[in-house]
Amino acid sequence: MVTIPVASGKGGVGKSLLAVNLSIALAEAGRRVVLVDLDLGASNAHTMLGLRGVSRGIGTFLSAPRAAFQDIVQRTEYDGLWFVPGDAEMPGTAALAPAQKRRLVRCLEALDFDLMVLDLGPGAGPNPLDFFLMGTAGIVVSTPALTSLLNAYLFLKNVVFRALYATLPARSPALAVLERMRRDREAGLARATVPRILSDIAREDPVNHALAVQSLARLKPRLVLNLVEDPAEAEKMEKLRGSARDYLGIECSHLGVMFRDELQAVALGSRVPILRYKPGCVLSRELYRVARKILAAAEENGAPWMEGVRGEAAGGASAGAADPAVEAEEDYKAMRRDLEDLLATGTLSTADLVESVRAQQIELAALRRENAQLRARLGRPEREATRS
């Protein structure tokens, strides 16, 4: 079974939109798929699937030690797609005890499907990080906003260090290097690049250095840039990939660029996935493209990350090497054609278009203010260091 975790550094970037619609697209391709809502404490994937009154889920399962996990695996109205609801409004589900997490992971790994899509909670907490490492090629969703890209990078950084701590043996010299750097507040883990850390480990513990390199080589995150408005914004994904390569020592691949589409808000309000609400729109075409890439790479990237750390082989070149700028330009042209058709048929009036542009301008102005404030905060320590 191929496990596909879908994560994000922050909320509101379209992570659940991707997870839900991707699951449907994979099922439409003839695969047996299970979607698992692991956004524990804020589960809402069921609403995107059009399900109402979910009374059983992971929350009720974890609260009953003798419950059978299969009892919460539900068939959906979509052929080939099953669903595991999240917390089912059970309080305390977000803070999983280690024993609960181990039990949940065992049950998930025992499921018998072709593909398992995990809709993770946002941020870099212990739960999203550990669930992300259930696969080698999880998806990280971001938007072009600076704060979102920064949070995506920080999520990837936390994944890398979570993997290193899970890989290195206790009381090993390699782990001692990590702990020494963690305690160094001036030039420790917050500032050191992963290649430099691996170099320090190689000098003190060559055997476990090889193990650390192997574990990080198994990590092949895939990036999706959502809520794009200009094809030029696709370049920001390439910058994120470069930062991950240079500072974190991992190779991330481009999986897709998805343009902002107001139809998604309408589809969500109608409790209908966008693939069913408007299968021919630009956003749906982008989602189907992501699904095709995942199916092409499923055999290569599906093994659990920890399985590879234990010694099983991984191989093949990374998938998803298409140029994001080219894809973004093609989708932008398609979106313009759709817009012209709507205007020509009278479905969309000029006044509607003007109002939509005005609303987006207000949102862009707010994002620019937010980015300016963030740059000011990031530049303050550097100016203070220069003065001192």
What does each C-alpha distance from 154 to 10, 132, 140, 150, 248 come to in angstroms?
A: 10, 14, 11, 6, 10
Three-class SS state of 257: strand
Furthest-apart CA pair in the chain: how many Å?
A: 71
Q: How far apart are CA 46 and CA 52, in angstroms?
A: 7
How much is the pTM? 0.78
Confidence of residue 354 (pLDDT cuts 50, 70, 90): low
Share above pLDDT 90 across residues of the chain, in percent, rounded to a whole number: 46
Q: Which pairs count as long-range contacts for 260-269, CB under 8 Å and 24+ apart, including other chains?
A: 260/227, 260/228, 260/229, 260/360, 261/335, 262/356, 264/14, 264/17, 268/17, 268/47, 268/48
Within 10 A of 316 (CB to CB), how many other CB atoms are there?
10
Three-class SS state of 116: strand
CATH 3.40.50.300 fits 2-163+216-323, yes or no: yes
**Token pair of 287 as six digits:** 């989602």
- Decide if pLDDT at 337 tops 90: no
**Token pair of 19 as six digits:** 């997870």
What was the pLDDT predicted at 225?
94
Q: How far apart are CA 345 and CA 359, in angstroms?
A: 23
**Token pair of 294 as six digits:** 């995942």
Backbone angles phi, psi at 255, to 5 degrees: -105, -35
What was the pLDDT predicted at 19?
95
Confidence of residue 364 (pLDDT cuts 50, 70, 90): low
